[in-house]
Amino acid sequence: MTPYSALVTSIVSQQLSTPIARMLTERLHTRVGSDLHPDSLQPLQVEDLREIGLSNAKARTILGLTDAITSGRMDLDDLAKRADDDVVAEELTALWGIGPWTVHMFLIFHLGRLDVWPTGDLGVRKGWQVVHGGDGDPGPNALMDAADHLQPYRSVAAWYCWRAWEAAV
């Protein structure tokens, strides 16, 4: 998977269940008839992406990312090779519709970064509650410092939180 296709997949997955995100990603692959590549998505309009079930915001975000790459304003392949997570986050969040959650998923699942703590992810927060006791959603701020002692492996802790939450529901 290329950095571009991983990022597009993360954008599609924003605030969706895994089965719905997979279905929409499959529809996107079917629509472009190839791997997710900037050249294959560049001709599309928001309406084309809406037809497969993406929201206006996701369509706009994907097309904005595509434009940034095809115009040369962003070299995503080069960005993905950088060692500094903060630089990756800064450059990606400068694009409309890409926020911390999308960046965190990209860093963890595509770049394999081991020390990302995605407190904006509901599954991580609920899984933390399952592991540590408690009810409801503790909220992102409550978990900001909770995993400091797990550095430099907070991505691994997040993975365990996701699995704990899956097992509990």
Picking from 75, 74, 73, 106, the residue whose alpha carbon sits closest to that of residue 89 is 106
HSE-up of 15 (CA within 13 Å, CB side)?
8
Q: How many CB atoms neighbour CB 79 within 10 A? A: 17
pLDDT in 10s for each residue of the chain, 169 residues: 899 999 999 999 988 888 999 999 999 999 998 789 999 999 999 999 999 999 999 999 999 999 999 999 999 999 888 768 999 999 999 999 999 999 999 999 999 999 999 999 999 999 999 999 988 888 999 899 999 999 999 999 999 999 999 998 8
pTM of the model: 0.90
Residue 114 CA to residue 155 CA, distance in Å, equals 5
- CATH architecture assigned to 3-110: Orthogonal Bundle (1.10)
The domain segmentation of the chain, as residue ranges, is 3-110, 122-168
